[in-house]
Structure 1
Amino acid sequence: MNKLSSAPKKEQLKIYEQVVLRIQEMVQTGALGIGDKLPPERDLAQTFQVSRSSIREAIRSLQEKGIVESRRGNGTYIIHTGNIVEPLAEAVTEQRIYLLQIMEFRQAIEPAMAGLAARNATPEQLDAIAAIIEEKAPEPPAGNPWEKDIRFHCAIAKASGNPLFEQALYNASTALEEIRQAPLQSPERRAQSCSMHKEIFNAIRTGDAALATESMRTHLKQVHALLFTTV
């Protein structure tokens, strides 16, 4: 079995993949052994400070790899201590390609979307965007701080006046959440994102389509640089 040190860095992985590695660590250190029952989802979510959906996804991944077995009405048990490090290393490469595709999609449509919002946003839509900006995002594990970020971009899509933009972001909501996972989870990075959101909104509010377009483009360039220097 490969040593854990040969695994990809945790900040390179999706949240559920980090949970998978944490459980593997528990097996390697003897905290969990074959035949042991995993703690309930609620307890694992609190221990790892992630959502219960991430715990469920991690358990599904472990089941597919034959590491654990879920027994109806009786919980989830360790049934094998197999090597899961190599598959996760492959997942990192796949994730880089996926993130690049997401960023190409965003950089292609969101600057134009912001420019249209500067021209077409109604007072009610501007109020809705402003309300999102003023919200205080919950800190993990109380909630997902990036849910506010997703709603901000979707609100701009709605304000563009073109329902195709709104539909495109809605259809890509799962992908947009992926891009806001571990590589961006820090107070400093969230603060930087909030600052850029305010710049984008101010340009939209004043009807400056050129500035709104450029501000969104700059914001997405920063996100791109952040992702591909940490992933």
Structure 2
Amino acid sequence: MSTETDDRRSLDTRAAIGAALEHPLLGLERRRTALTVVYLLGLVAMFWASYLGTRVPVTDALRNTLTTGLDTLSTVFIALVTPTILLVPLCYAIWNGGPGLSFVLPLVPVGIGDVIAGAYVLDLDVAIGLTVGATAAAVALVAVDVRRAGSLRFWRAGVDEDRLLFVTAAAVVAAVGVGRFVDTAPAYMLEWYAPLGGCWLVTAALVGGYWIVWARSALGAAGGHDPADS
């Protein structure tokens, strides 16, 4: 009886995980979504291993070997952080859609540091993560509709209002956070952040364009024709 119950729980857990991985905000293809989630979990595990390893007491015989291993692990983690914040979200957005996961991706490595510090700091890394996340979410919106429409004329696929509302909310939250950073950051940090300012033009153009398509669709429906054909 216990074995049957455990098997049923295992099947239920797998089904729940599978359903979560197939959520449209996470990605189009379950396998690609799963690979990306595993990558993030591996990144988090790598950080915690290197962090906790330096604080666990060990014997002198193991210290040299452990130190070498942890230094290597920390080096790999640091090497992965920059592309995870700047490149991976945009690549994932194009590769598998998923505006939700695309938005979260650059914030994960940034958030790890805040968890360790035990405090939230709206610093340069957070501002960069929010900026790239908002742009990646908007790009994911387009990537999904390009596949749906089977054409680069993504507006022909129509507007998924749920996804558009999510991306709009994510962009607004990111904009508010970055705005607070800009108001309080010293001049040298603003200079470092400035090259990423162009991302907001992309985000605004895509999100604004979608709302224009949505408004035209609403007006077209009221007028009895489909503006997507124009």
Q: TM-score, normalised to structure 2's length?
A: 0.27
Structure with the largest fraction of helix: 2
Q: TM-score, normalised to structure 1's length?
A: 0.27
Higher RCO (Cα < 8 Å, 6 or more apart): 1
